[in-house]
Structure 1
């Protein structure tokens, strides 16, 4: 028992040490005013592994013959929500109002929320993610939007609703990679994060659910994981990924204020990865990346008065 207690203490000590180190790095970079992006730790070769071997991803993302398209979208949407919610819950104590005062992604991309009147709101990352999880949880629990019974039909706007949810979940993934990847590595969860990102990216590419301009924020990671071919420059040679910070605001619905803020993104190719999928009409349960899909409870706070952009 003493050995276990010491191990837990060392783990918490190391997490606290990494959190303080990251805060110092963040404070130094903000006070320096250089505007340069921090090195992307998630692109280092030593942390690019996934927890799942590459084998059958095309079978996973392709719509099985005879299965309803909307049911396929619903099953995956619930899986992505559960797993991203679960992963964020492991590092949520390090995502604070003071440590993450803005909802940002790689390249200093900033995400804004829309209030009920359609006005853009700048909120801290934990509050933004709370809005995302609360909105998604409320949506998938609504039988009129996500039906689970045979006699109920999906609404005509279902695909648009799925696109909105996936755009919001992408923002959460982008923040995890940008602000909390060190904690993920320390907790040895980076392989799970990569696996979920790979599944999420290939599925959304297969069915065109996320705007390529929004997905470009993690395009370099998709290339590094072999999910997409490198972008090519005008002369046919691979183009170097830009490290210039983007100041364009991104709305909760996934649209950008400036169309020129994101470069062209080549279509991803489905590199296979073994993931078990068992969609059910009466009770959708999808297990991916070797993590049991158990949502983390998120406080509702004032999310009821804030809605994603239409």
Structure 2
């Protein structure tokens, strides 16, 4: 099912009851479309990077949902695709927001001075002067989650009343939302997975992320390059996506 090919279809659907989660203070910047990698110094003999815990057994296998996620992301019969995507975007946002809220005290300006998502990758933000700036991870995530919250509260973007249709720009908007949510997932895996383990929440977090990846690939909200990054600046969770694909949890 191609989400972007469905835009020409009727967008009429049943009323969706308004439901919003809480987020931090309002952001004044806009999220970037593409995150340029950090400048990488000339080649030197680098020490071996230890294998991340989230790629190690038994943590990589920990999940609440067993089997392939394909079955739970398929469009239900008689459900409009726009409504289905909107509902899932809201659920992914709400659940991720709650997970981050639990580990937020460990994500500080000092411990996470950049929005890192890999050993050579830090995402940047476009400020009001249209310049790319590096921000501490908690500030970046605050801006992302507030920006998404504002979109969810915008009746013109995420309509909740019967008779109000989704805008023609909805597919491109949610694709941008999805990319930003991926960055929050990537930072948590890269910098805070040990805290997830300490809380014994890795089955819940893994299942949420696998569901997020499967849904994004099914409805063309995520591209492989978003998940894997570039050769010089790979996204840390790209290896996790490949591992789960090899395990049959996700499809290519």
TM range (shorter): 0.7 to 0.9
Report SS of the residue matched to 1:48.
Answer: helix
Q: Residues of 1 paired with 2:70 and 2:140: CA distance?
A: 33
Partner of 1:304: none
Report SS of the residue matched to 1:110.
Answer: strand
Matched, 1:92 2:98: no
Structure 1: state its 5+ residue gaps.
1-32, 231-267, 271-310
Distance 1:115 1:36, change over 3 A: farther
Distance 1:37 1:129, change over 3 A: farther
Matched, 1:224 2:243: yes
Partner of 1:215: 227
1:108 to partner: Cα distance:
2.8
Distance 1:51 1:212, change over 3 A: closer
Matched, 1:142 2:154: yes
Distance 1:214 1:107, change over 3 A: farther
Number of equivalent positions: 200
Of 159-168 and 42-51, more deviation after overlay is shown by 42-51
Distance 1:108 1:189, change over 3 A: farther
Matched, 1:71 2:95: no
Distance 1:126 1:158, change over 3 A: same
Q: TM-score, normalised by structure 1?
A: 0.61
Partner of 2:59: 47
Partner of 2:165: 153
Matched, 1:113 2:125: yes
Deviations 1:228-287 (A, max 9, x none): 249xxxxxxxxxxxxxxxxxxxxxxxxxxxxxxxxxxxxx518xxxxxxxxxxxxxxxxx
* Structure (1 or 2) with the larger CA radius of gyration: 1
Report SS of the residue matched to 2:58.
Answer: helix
Within the candidate set 127, 141, 146, 2:139 is matched to 127
Matched, 1:174 2:221: no
Report SS of the residue matched to 1:86.
Answer: helix
Distance 1:69 1:135, change over 3 A: same
Distance 1:102 1:84, change over 3 A: same
Q: Residues of 1 paired with 2:190 and 2:214: CA distance?
A: 20
Q: Residues of 2 paired with 1:56 and 1:269: CA distance?
A: 8
Report SS of the residue matched to 1:45.
Answer: coil
Structure 2: state its 5+ residue gaps.
1-44, 229-234
Within the candidate set 269, 293, 300, 2:251 is matched to 269
The answer (yes or no) to whether the contact 1:37–1:108 under 8 Å persists in 2 is no
Give RMSD over aligned pairs: 2.1
1:64 to partner: Cα distance:
1.7
1:34 to partner: Cα distance:
4.0
Q: Residues of 2 paired with 1:128 and 1:49: CA distance?
A: 30
